Amino acid sequence: MEYRPLGRTGLKISKLSLGGSALGRAVTPADEAEAVRTVHLALDLGINLIDTSPLYGTTRAETVLGMGLRGLRRDRYILATKVGRYGLRDFNFSAERVTRSFDESCARLGVDTIDLLHCHDIEFGDLNQIVEETLPALVKLRQAGKIRFIGITGLPLKIFPAILDRVPAGTVDVILSYCHYNLNDDTLTGIIPRLKAAGVGIIHAAPTGLGMLTEAGPPDWHFAPQRIKDGCKVAVDYCRARGVDIVKMCVQFSTANPDITTTLIGTNQSEEIRRDVAYADAPIDPKLLAEVRATLRPISNHNFSSGGLPENQDAVIA
């Protein structure tokens, strides 16, 4: 496993990390046992960052992850969770709520400190409040030694420089972007120089575009318009015809960029995390990569919105 620096935090993070959203779907004892095996195997295979949120499974993911972390040495893993989003339409970025959310997450996870605490999906909030109230509350937690680093997450890329341009240097340590460094959309590269100049670490999530670049296809709730889903299916079909798992190409592509510290892959299945680690470690086929990306050219860098305040949205590329 390759490890990369996370901005100026001093942390070295595995290039593939475990995203905890799927842990929220562990609802039976058998599911929970398999999810715990997945967490342990991920660590055994060299993954050292696990990311979760109270949103995932309406706190279930944090509870199940806490089961997996029980009894493990605290220095075996780097733990990230989030504040501010608690349900599909349940957002609260007030200082009081995010501080209380931190305490609640620690109780579910069975820890006293969090390595990386993110403001979750900030495009749904007033960025003035994020700058003036939410981030100062997290800075207080950092100063108290309760968290080590602060992050912000969201889908629109414009929100990241919008925040960084308004807060003192060093306030935000990390950004977490998703769906913007995939086979069909690599627009994250446009803000990487700005992030690197500020010493901000970069985490990418959802390398399959939230399921669009998989054999199963996107879930029913997926926000992308049908033309993007259909365009992704062309690439899926192209890979299938050549006996290639497109997920392998997605993982390889996202983890190949050294400027992106780590890519989060979400699963609660131990064999899937074993497979994905093997994919990340295997060299990519440049000829096949060029061919697959060519099939995606009609929708290349076309984007979509998951909601949020209109003023926080990227311009639509259609």
Q: How much is the average pLDDT of 111-121?
A: 98
Catalytic residues: 56
Residue 315 inside a domain? The answer is no
pLDDT in tens, 53-70: 999 999 999 999 999 999
Question: Which domain range does residue 100 map to?
Answer: 3-218+246-286
Residue 145 inside a domain? The answer is yes
pTM here is 0.96
pLDDT in tens, 156-195: 999 999 999 999 999 999 999 999 999 999 999 999 999 9
Residue 40 inside a domain? The answer is yes
Handedness of CA 176, 74, 275, 9 (dihedral sign): positive
Q: Is the pLDDT of residue 2 over 90?
A: yes
Residue 204 inside a domain? The answer is yes
Residue 298 inside a domain? The answer is no
Round to whole Å and give the CA distance between 270 and 260.
25
The structural domain count of the chain equals 1
Residue 129 inside a domain? The answer is yes
Q: What is the CATH number of the domain that holds 148?
A: 3.20.20.100
pLDDT, residue 316, reads 81
pLDDT in tens, 12-43: 999 999 999 999 999 899 999 999 999 999 99
Round to whole Å and give the CA distance between 259 and 244.
27
Which tokens in the block code for residue 124? 């749904």
Nearest to 67 by CA among 101, 130, 109: 109
pLDDT in tens, 260-299: 999 999 999 999 999 999 999 999 999 999 999 999 999 9
Residue 291 inside a domain? The answer is no
Residue 317 inside a domain? The answer is no
Which tokens in the block code for residue 312? 């926080």
pLDDT, residue 179, reads 97
